[in-house]
Structures are given as C-alpha cells and as structure tokens.
Structure 1
Amino acid sequence: MTLPTQDTVVLYPSGSVRNAATVLHVEVLPGGRVAVLLDATSVHPVDAGWPDQGADAAVLRIGEIDHTVVDAIVGATDGAELHLGRDIPVGKGTEGWAFVVVHVLESGALAAEGDPVRVSVDAGARLRTSAGHTGCHVASLALNRAVADRWKKEIRADGLGNPDFDGVAIDVSLIRENGSTDTYRLGKSLRKKGFVTEGLADDLAQVQDAINAALAGWVASGAAVRIERDGDLLTDRRYWVCELPEQTVRIPCGGTHVDSLAELGAPQVLLSLSEVDGTSVLTMETSVG
C-alpha cells in the first residue's frame, strides 16, 4: 500500500473534535492491531519526543462501523516503511520524510485506502485534558516566579521575565484530565547553574502558597488563551499564548488547551520533596476545575 508523502493535517489545535477524512494507508502492526493513516484528523496523538499529553479518546466511523481508537501515535515514513514513536530514526522536518498521526485500531478492523471516515473525539475528555494542560503551563510560570530569588547566576528567562526554573530543571511532565504532575531534579547540574537548594524544604509551604496565590489572581482575570501555529501540518510549530495581566506569554506547545483561564475553576498546587537515587526531586501536583 502507498504511504503518505505529506505530513498529516491536524485540526485539534483549533479545538476540533470532529472531521471528515480519507484513509491514505492501512497497515497491520505486530500483534495484529491495525494502523490507519488519514489525510486530516482531530485526534491528538502521543509524541514520543515529549509525551506529556496522551492520545485523545476517539472513534473512527468507516462505512457503518465505529472503530475505537485504542491509541494514537506520531509516526514517520520515508515512503518505504512506517516507523512509530521512539523507533522514528530521524528528527521532525527531515527532508524526504512525512510525519503522520497513526490511529491504532483493534485487530480485525476493516479499512482500505480511499475509504471515507468520520473522526469523533470524546469532547468531554478533551476538555478536561485541555484544562489540565493549560493549568500545567500557568503553574510552571507561577513556580518560576515563586523560586526566582533562589538563583545566584543568570539563566534564561521565561515569558514573564523570571528565571526559567521549569524549563531548566524539568524531568518529567504528565498531563491528565483536570491536572498534571511535574517532577524536577534538584541535582548537581542544577546547582552548578546557580539554583540554591539549601533551605528549600523549610520554605516549601511558602513557595506553594505563592504559587496558589498567583494562580488565583490569573484565573480571576479571565485571561484569554489561544493556540498560534505556523501551519496546519503535524510538524508545523505551535504555541500556547496566554494574555496574562502582566503581559502576554508565548510558549512552544503541541498540546490542546482551554480558551480562558476562567475555565480552570479553582486551581491548586501541592509541592513535595523526595529523594530518588540520591538526588532531591521536587514534585508539583496541579489540579484544576
């Protein structure tokens, strides 16, 4: 079967949860599940490069049959072979490669090139996940502000002009419905960059209070949120833009988001410190709604 030569057109950055599409390629994966590539999709996939936001819950209607999308993954092809997730051997934008959304269906799913498809995403789950992702971004900005006085060397600034602790120290970020979990390693490399870890445990409650106060103020402002993008293809750059009272912030982001901070309800952050393999780890649990 013919593999696509162009990146998938992605519609989820605009908030789309439904679209008509055409099947471009069907392939049986190891284990029997069926990979379906479409010309356009509203389904947000997992990107192995930064898998913070998971795949949308979705259904593909092919003919009169609804097929559950059991996974959605970023894949890539050079026209000869389809590679999935971490098995992609080249970086995004590599000439001669198409980057695609791979809709994974259960084994036995019937689809063929040229079939018309109706894509339907679970709108409620999308909204809750989008709220979690937006909450994650504003919480990271509030965290950066709350620990700004702990830097003794100059590092890059975030969108509000504070030292970008989140960008420098982040280890893992996981988005979930109405929340997120971010972990930060407070190891030797971070201290060499100028971050002072001494006394953080004693000040943790104060830092947490400062973050929650900032979040409350930003949500009360009803700041508008939008996604700006360089184009509609999967590899086109996309940005989270939030019109905070202090100034508008723009962060590269491939995920989905709500339209206003007012949709976050009463967000709360909980901070904790732990030891992992001899290194201090700061965990930030954010809940919204």
Structure 2
Amino acid sequence: MTLPGTPTRVDYPAGALAGTATVLHVAPAADGLVAVVTDATSFHPVDAAWPDQPADRGVLRANGRELPIVDAVVAATEGTELHLGDAVPVRKGTEGWTFLVAHLVDAADAPREGDEVEIAADPELRAALSAGHTACHLASLALNRALAGRWSKEPREDALGAPDFDGTAIQSSRIEANGSVDRYRLNKSLRRAGFDTASLDEASLPALAAEIEATLADWVAADAAVRIEAEGPTLTDRRSWVCELPDGTARIPCGGTHAESTGALGALDVQLELGDDAGTPVLVMATRATPRS
C-alpha cells in the first residue's frame, strides 16, 4: 500500500482551531485505536523527538459522528509503513521520508480513506498551552540575561545576544497549561564551556528568581507582539517564534503554538530549585503565567 507522499499541511501555527480535511490513510494503533492521517490539520501533535508541548485535545467529526481525539502524534513513512510517535526511526526532515500528523481515535467509528472530516481543537486548552509556551521562551531569555556574568568564556549567544545558558544546559522542557518546567544539567560539559556552576547554590536562587521576574515584568508591560514565521505550510517546514521585545527582536526555532502578545500572559512567576540527576546537579525552573481575562 502506498502511503501519503506529501507532509501534512498544518494550520495551527497561525492560530487555527478548526478546519476541514480529507482522510488520506487509516492505520491500526494500540489499544483499539486507529491513526487517522489527513491532508491538513488544525490540531497540534506531540513530537516524540522533542515532546515539550502536549497534543491538543478535541474532536474529529465525520459522517455525522463526533469522535474524541485521544491523542495526536507526529508520524512518518518511507512509503510502505506508517511509524507513529516514538516509533519513528529517523529525525524529522530526513530525506526520503514523509512526516505526517496522525489523529488517534476509536477504531469502531473511524472514518475511511477519502472521507471529508472536520477537526477541531479545544480553544481553552490551546490558549493555556500557548500562554505556557510563550512564557517558557521569555523565561529562558530572562534566565540567560540574569546569568550572563557567570561565564569565563565566550559561549554561543541566544536570540537577544546574551550567553545562551538555556541552549547549552537544557535537559528537558515541558509546556503545561499557563506554564512550563525546564530542567538544566549543571555538568562537566557546562563547566568546560566556561559557566561557573558553583555560583548556583540554594542561597543564590531567590535573588536570581527576582531578577528574572523583573525582566519578565518589563516584557509583559511592553505588550510586545508575538508571531510565528513559517517557511511553508507543511509539518516539516521550518517555523520560528518571533517576539518584538523592547530589547530587540527575538527569533527562536519552534514548532509549537503561542499567545499573540506578551501582555496576554499577565503576571509571570518563576520558581527555581536545585535537584540531582544520578549525581549531576540540576537546576529546575518552573514558570507560571496568570493570563489577563
């Protein structure tokens, strides 16, 4: 069986919540579910390669029925077999592979190939995840700025020209409703890069968090515009988060969804703590937005 040869067209980067599409392929998935691949979608999927933002929640409407979408994942095919989620064996964009969005629904009422369907994401969850993702990017930039004086070497720069602690030390990032949790490894590689890991101790964290929050408050007060720039309409086209901050235009590669402005985030709170990962110190930053109504 020949599978789709063109990547899924995605509308969610521009903020779309619902849209119509044609079913291109239906494949078995686990636990009585099937993967419904469409030519287009407004539904944000989770990407197993960097699963920072969870999938949208919502429904697929077909043939007079409304099916809950249990999950949505990035899938890939080399032409004969569909690989789902963490079973995708290659990096996104690998030549010879097509990358798609698969919507997981109950097999009993699944649409058929060729059916016209409507896909709709829950607006409240989308808004909350979008706020959380924008807050995550802003907090990472504010963290980089606050730690700028703790480098003894010239590291790579972030989107605003500060030493990129976030990009150098990040272990994982998880977007939540109206917030995020980022984990940074304070390991030998970071020290070799020139960062003074010893300066990050429990006593230093309250002042560091206060400095980050002060920067974030200034950026929220500026109500800076946020947008997604895309090189094309498909899942594998490069996309970037762009924010017109008072300090300059920040541009960060990103496949997620976002608020339309920094002002929409309302108050931003940052909590820092030190942890341990198999003997390696870890800095954990939890960011929480209180969006304005």
In structure 2, give the amino acid aligned to 1:251: I
Alignment of 1:57-206 (within 5 A): 57-201=57-201, 202-206=203-207
In structure 2, give the amino acid aligned to 1:260: S
TM-score (norm 1): 0.98
> Once the two structures are superposed, what CA deviation does each residue of 1:200-240 show, in whole Å capped at 9, x if it has no partner?
21221111110000000000000000000000000000000
**Partner-residue secondary structure (3-state), 1:96:** coil
- Which stretches of structure 1, 4 residues or longer, exceed 2 Å deviation after superposition? 89-96
Alignment of 1:244-263 (within 5 A): 244-263=245-264
**Partner-residue secondary structure (3-state), 1:27:** strand
Superposition RMSD in Å: 1.0
Q: Is the 2:49–2:91 Cα contact (8 Å) retained in structure 1? A: no
> Once the two structures are superposed, what CA deviation does each residue of 1:168-198 show, in whole Å capped at 9, x if it has no partner?
0000100010000001010111111111022
Task: State the distance in 1 between where 2:264 and 2:280 align.
Answer: 36
Task: State the distance in 2 between where 1:233 and 1:211 align.
Answer: 35
Task: State the distance in 1 between where 2:198 and 2:14 align.
Answer: 44
Aligned to 1:219: 220
Q: Is the 1:169–1:185 Cα contact (8 Å) retained in structure 2? A: yes
**Partner-residue secondary structure (3-state), 1:133:** helix
Quote how far apart the aligned CAs of 1:3 are. 1.5
Quote how far apart the aligned CAs of 1:279 are. 1.3
Quote how far apart the aligned CAs of 1:244 are. 0.3
Task: State the distance in 2 between where 1:104 and 1:236 align.
Answer: 23
**Partner-residue secondary structure (3-state), 2:211:** helix
- 10-19 vs 98-107, greater mean Cα deviation: 98-107
- 196-205 vs 173-182, greater mean Cα deviation: 196-205
Quote how far apart the aligned CAs of 1:2 are. 4.2
Q: Is the 1:151–1:196 Cα contact (8 Å) retained in structure 2? A: yes
Q: What percent of counterpart residues are identical?
A: 56
In structure 2, give the amino acid aligned to 1:165: F
In structure 1, give the amino acid aligned to 2:28: V
Task: State the distance in 2 between where 1:253 and 1:142 align.
Answer: 18
Q: Do structure 1's residue 8 and structure 2's residue 8 form an aligned pair?
A: yes
> Once the two structures are superposed, what CA deviation does each residue of 1:126-172 show, in whole Å capped at 9, x if it has no partner?
00100000000000000000011111111100011110000000001
Q: Is the 1:186–1:282 Cα contact (8 Å) retained in structure 2? A: yes
In structure 1, give the amino acid aligned to 2:66: D
**Partner-residue secondary structure (3-state), 1:4:** coil
Aligned to 1:283: 284
Task: State the distance in 1 between where 2:110 and 2:204 align.
Answer: 58
Task: State the distance in 2 between where 1:163 and 1:143 align.
Answer: 10
**Partner-residue secondary structure (3-state), 1:218:** helix
Aligned to 1:27: 27
Q: 1:96 to 1:197 in 2, by over 3 A?
A: closer
**Partner-residue secondary structure (3-state), 1:108:** helix
Q: Is the 1:60–1:68 Cα contact (8 Å) retained in structure 2? A: yes
Task: State the distance in 1 between where 2:275 and 2:7 align.
Answer: 42
Q: Is the 1:68–1:105 Cα contact (8 Å) retained in structure 2? A: yes
Task: State the distance in 1 between where 2:139 and 2:244 align.
Answer: 15
TM-score (norm 2): 0.96
Quote how far apart the aligned CAs of 1:275 are. 2.3
- 55-64 vs 105-114, greater mean Cα deviation: 105-114
In structure 2, give the amino acid aligned to 1:220: A
- 233-242 vs 30-39, greater mean Cα deviation: 30-39
Task: State the distance in 1 between where 2:161 and 2:229 align.
Answer: 21
